[in-house]
């Protein structure tokens, strides 16, 4: 039986006394890649943030690697360090003096570490390797505020890869990128998924990309409407049920030669 990395049971979340996510349950197996899709306002970001403890939940339980997360995302430090989150945007003040290497190093530091100078050689090595894996080796001394959108997304991946993770949660991580930069980001993401053994849960509006790359699809519109493989969850009848009559998905311009998800991503 496959190991379950994430288990969500009867999760309910309210905002301003309005139920935004209602009684949602699902499980993610180890090294699976699952997309969370649905119309605007369906509760996708709310669900992700409640799973992580960024938002409080009114009911339900979340388990990560068999351990229950508290209502505010509390986990033992060694487990918390094995979970990473890529937000939709990372807003930085133009004068914020944090370099890329310093930021990636924050992903290495275990939560609650009281003696950060211990293991400095291992930390420096991990930062260097993470930057190399994410094609950021030449960016270490740059300020975060100086980066382009595509560079910043790669640096966020370096933050995730600097320490071994089991679950990577992405909330529209390709937001703000043009079609080419988004394709390059996903190519790198799926290389890392294979090499690092990540389980991925990602919010996405790019249904074409989801169909080509993901193992499973969670269809959400306040309640969980469907959970299954892309061919089932993204059928025309199912999409009309979730998005409404007359729904036409937007087609991004992806390179035509990219293989389907079961063949793996091509090299950069």
Q: Do residues 59 and 11 touch, judged by C-beta distance below 8 A?
A: yes
Half-sphere exposure (Cβ direction) of 37: Cα atoms closer than 13 Å:
27
Phi, psi of 115 (to 5 degrees): -125, 75
Q: Dihedral angle at the C-alpha atoms of 151, 155, 158, 160, nearest 10 degrees?
A: -120
> What would you measure as the largest C-alpha separation in the chain, in angstroms?
59
**Model's pTM, two decimal places?**
0.85
pLDDT in tens, the chain (268 residues): 789 999 999 999 999 999 999 999 999 999 999 999 999 999 999 999 999 988 999 999 999 999 988 766 667 667 888 899 998 877 766 667 899 999 999 898 866 555 555 578 889 999 999 999 999 999 999 999 889 889 999 999 999 999 999 999 999 888 888 888 888 898 999 999 999 999 999 999 889 889 988 999 999 999 999 999 999 999 988 888 888 886 766 555 554 434 434 333 333 2
Domain ranges of the chain: 4-82+165-263, 98-163
72: tokens are 């505010």
Residue range 4-82+165-263 in CATH 3.40.50.300:
yes
Beta-carbon contacts of 26 under 8 Å, excluding residues fewer than 6 positions away, are 8, 218, 224, 227
CB burial of 130-152 (b: ≥16 within 10 Å; e: otherwise) equals: bbebbbbeebbeebbeebeebbb
């Amino acid at each position: 039986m496959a190991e379950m990395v994430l288990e969500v049971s009867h999760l309910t979340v309210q905002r301003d006394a309005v139920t935004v996510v209602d009684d949602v349950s699902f499980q993610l197996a180890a090294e699976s890649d699952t997309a969370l899709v649905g119309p605007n306002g369906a509760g996708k970001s709310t669900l992700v943030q409640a799973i992580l403890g960024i938002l409080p939940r009114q009911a339900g339980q979340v388990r990560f690697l068999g351990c229950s997360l508290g209502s505010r995302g509390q986990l033992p430090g060694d487990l918390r360090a094995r979970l990473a989150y890529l937000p939709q945007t990372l807003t930085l003040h133009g004068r914020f003096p944090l370099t890329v290497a310093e930021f990636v190093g924050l992903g290495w530091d275990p939560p609650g570490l009281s003696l950060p100078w211990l293991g400095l050689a291992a930390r420096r090595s991990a930062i260097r390797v993470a930057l190399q894996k994410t094609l950021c080796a030449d960016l270490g001394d740059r300020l975060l505020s100086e980066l382009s959108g595509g560079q910043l997304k790669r640096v966020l991946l370096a933050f995730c890869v600097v320490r071994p993770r089991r679950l990577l949660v992405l909330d529209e991580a390709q937001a703000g990128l043009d079609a080419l930069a988004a394709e390059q980001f996903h190519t790198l993401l799926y290389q890392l998924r294979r090499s690092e053994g990540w389980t991925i849960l990602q919010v996405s509006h790019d249904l074409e990309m989801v169909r080509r790359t993901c193992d499973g699809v969670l269809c959400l519109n306040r309640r969980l409407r469907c959970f299954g493989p892309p061919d089932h969850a993204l059928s025309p009848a199912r999409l009309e049920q979730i998005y409404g009559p007359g729904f036409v998905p937007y087609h991004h311009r992806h390179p035509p030669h990219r293989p389907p998800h079961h063949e793996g991503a091509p090299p950069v």
